[in-house]
A and B are shown apart, each in its own frame.
Chain A
């Protein structure tokens, strides 16, 4: 039974039998490859040819206000400025060579996902402390303004998702939630539901209408206490990146939430920075039980950077293949 990368992903997420687990590309950047070329990666060698690799692609539509806001609305009267800057019909919001891409995606073999939302903080224009504290203040002092601003973003994101889904059949949708802490999210589950998840509802409605089966929360923080809330809203997959992994051990999540929550990631990148023994323990302890439960794509929990020695990376990839193939029987 040989499967395409796309079939492998879809079946994994459906808890069906696959030929093997998907091995997602880690998104290794050029500077890392350059460093590895001095550590044994030969000039012509390609990682995707050295190891079994499943391609994944993400459609990133432009969800930023256009033109950039000089000042974020400070009262409800000013919300029109935000509304106007989020025009879903603006053709520049779609990635370049759109029609051509749409055509090639129709016959693809790889997994394609759509990033539908950039998360609470980024969508509220938080890139630094001043706007951060302003937004936090609004959450408590001007809840109406906050709710309306979020609703505008939610509606806009929904229309953008619809624009894409009308033309492309994607395999998953991703809500990204980058700003948070290792110790936990910045907002309480109650506030996250009342403000953020409520504003995602129009997007979730569109995803349901188009039958998107896998709805992912990709978090860069310890989002553990938000999981019951996201499940309630219809998310069914968690992808944790750059989170202190002890705080969000996927084996614990599996025990607690069972198959309702599909999982991507979970392998501590720090082990790859350390040594082979740390990698062996990390992969052998964590991957087999998760694999046995299904609905799991093993992946390092962050971007592999230049501080990971090439030798460790090779060892990790080989071991991952060995352990996962053994796990599939």
Chain B
């Protein structure tokens, strides 16, 4: 399979070419899951790597994600639902009292591009909604974003709620401008990432743990 061409197309932010190359591989009979893993997700891994080394910034990340999505759209009907589900489900939202969503959306987008099923609950999400959605969608992770120092207490409350009632499989991931690694550890969150690309590796390690 010629994965490199697709990876290059994603890294060139070329939506049309990405879609066209994915279609060509499908026509050749290549397995859809293989295209997803070895071409599209591999491309986004490279995007994440370049983001962490400071070669890519948000515009590059976002445009690559859009190209990847164009490929995913072609691939979608050929993927069994179980293929996506198998990677893991993440329920994400900005905690109650907080309406900031730019950072949260970038995180959601990167997680989706890494092949996870992402249930985005939006902003100003109450404690109960996180847990209810996690149960409904059989999520592996509840991901919380907060931008206001005044909503950090709400984040702590959701993490406590998930720990108490979510069962041992359900993990928490937290992030947002006022959130630090030590704060995350202090409230008992299972994972923390300072940025969207990093959130993908944290999720991977949490789900495989």
Is residue A128 within 8 Å, beta carbon to beta carbon, of the partner chain? yes
Q: Do the beta carbons of B54 and A225 come within 8 Å of each other?
A: yes
Chain A neighbourhood of B66, CB < 8 A: 137
Number of B interface residues, CB 8 Å?
20
The stretch that binds B, out of A18-26, A177-185, A201-209, A253-261, is A177-185
Shortest B153–chain A CB gap in Å is 10
What separation, in Å, do the CA atoms of A307 and B59 have in the docked complex? 35
* Closest Cβ neighbor of A132 among chain B residues: B102
| A137-B102 contact given A182-B194, A307-B149, CB 8 Å threshold | no
What string of 1s and 0s marks CB contacts (under 8 Å) between B147-179 and chain A? 001100000000000000000000000000110
Is residue B137 within 8 Å, beta carbon to beta carbon, of the partner chain? no
What separation, in Å, do the CA atoms of A119 and B84 have in the docked complex? 40
Query: In terms of DSSP, what is the predominant structure of the interface of chain A?
Result: loop
Specify which of A128, A136, A307 is in contact with B58 (CB 8 Å cutoff). Answer: A136
Specify which of B57, B105, B195 is in contact with A187 (CB 8 Å cutoff). Answer: B57
Shortest B56–chain A CB gap in Å is 8
Q: Do the beta carbons of A179 and B102 come within 8 Å of each other?
A: yes
Is residue A140 within 8 Å, beta carbon to beta carbon, of the partner chain? yes
Is residue A139 within 8 Å, beta carbon to beta carbon, of the partner chain? yes
Shortest A51–chain B CB gap in Å is 24
Chain B neighbourhood of A139, CB < 8 A: 59
Shortest A224–chain B CB gap in Å is 11
| A183-B194 contact given A129-B101, A242-B177, A244-B177, CB 8 Å threshold | yes
| A133-B62 contact given A140-B13, A186-B57, A244-B180, CB 8 Å threshold | yes
| A136-B105 contact given A183-B194, A305-B149, CB 8 Å threshold | no
Q: Do the beta carbons of B102 and A129 come within 8 Å of each other?
A: yes
* Closest Cβ neighbor of B15 among chain A residues: A141
Chain A neighbourhood of B62, CB < 8 A: 133, 136-137
Chain A neighbourhood of B102, CB < 8 A: 128-129, 132, 179
Is residue B103 within 8 Å, beta carbon to beta carbon, of the partner chain? yes
What separation, in Å, do the CA atoms of A139 and B56 have in the docked complex? 14
* Closest Cβ neighbor of B150 among chain A residues: A307
Chain B neighbourhood of A183, CB < 8 A: 194-195
What separation, in Å, do the CA atoms of A107 and B187 have in the docked complex? 53
Is residue A47 within 8 Å, beta carbon to beta carbon, of the partner chain? no
Chain A neighbourhood of B190, CB < 8 A: none
Specify which of B59, B101, B177, B178 is in contact with A140 (CB 8 Å cutoff). Answer: B59
Is residue A3 within 8 Å, beta carbon to beta carbon, of the partner chain? no
**Chain A contacts with B in 71-96, Cβ cutoff 8 A:** none
Shortest B39–chain A CB gap in Å is 21
What separation, in Å, do the CA atoms of A4 and B46 have in the docked complex? 56
Q: Do the beta carbons of A187 and B194 come within 8 Å of each other?
A: no
Is residue B121 within 8 Å, beta carbon to beta carbon, of the partner chain? no
What separation, in Å, do the CA atoms of A184 and B195 have in the docked complex? 9
**Chain A contacts with B in 273-329, Cβ cutoff 8 A:** 273, 305, 307
Is residue B45 within 8 Å, beta carbon to beta carbon, of the partner chain? no
Q: Do the beta carbons of B101 and A181 come within 8 Å of each other?
A: no
Chain B neighbourhood of A273, CB < 8 A: 149
What separation, in Å, do the CA atoms of A121 and B86 have in the docked complex? 38
Q: Do the beta carbons of A181 and B103 come within 8 Å of each other?
A: yes
Q: Do the beta carbons of A129 and B105 come within 8 Å of each other?
A: yes
Is residue A39 within 8 Å, beta carbon to beta carbon, of the partner chain? no
Q: Do the beta carbons of B150 and A140 come within 8 Å of each other?
A: no
Shortest B197–chain A CB gap in Å is 10
Q: Do the beta carbons of A188 and B101 come within 8 Å of each other?
A: no
Is residue A102 within 8 Å, beta carbon to beta carbon, of the partner chain? no
What string of 1s and 0s marks CB contacts (under 8 Å) between B128-160 and chain A? 000000000000000000000110000000000
A residues apposed to B, CB below 8 Å: 128-129, 132-133, 136-137, 139-141, 179, 181-188, 191, 225, 242, 244, 273, 305, 307
- Seed contacts A140-B63, A244-B178; 14 additional CB < 8 Å A-B pairs: A129-B101, A136-B58, A136-B62, A140-B13, A141-B13, A141-B63, A181-B103, A181-B195, A184-B54, A185-B57, A186-B58, A191-B57, A191-B59, A305-B150
Enumerate 23 A-B pairs (CB-CB under 8 Å) in ascending A order: A128-B101, A129-B102, A133-B105, A136-B58, A136-B63, A137-B62, A137-B63, A140-B13, A140-B59, A140-B60, A141-B63, A181-B177, A182-B194, A184-B57, A187-B58, A188-B54, A191-B57, A191-B59, A225-B54, A244-B178, A244-B180, A305-B149, A305-B150
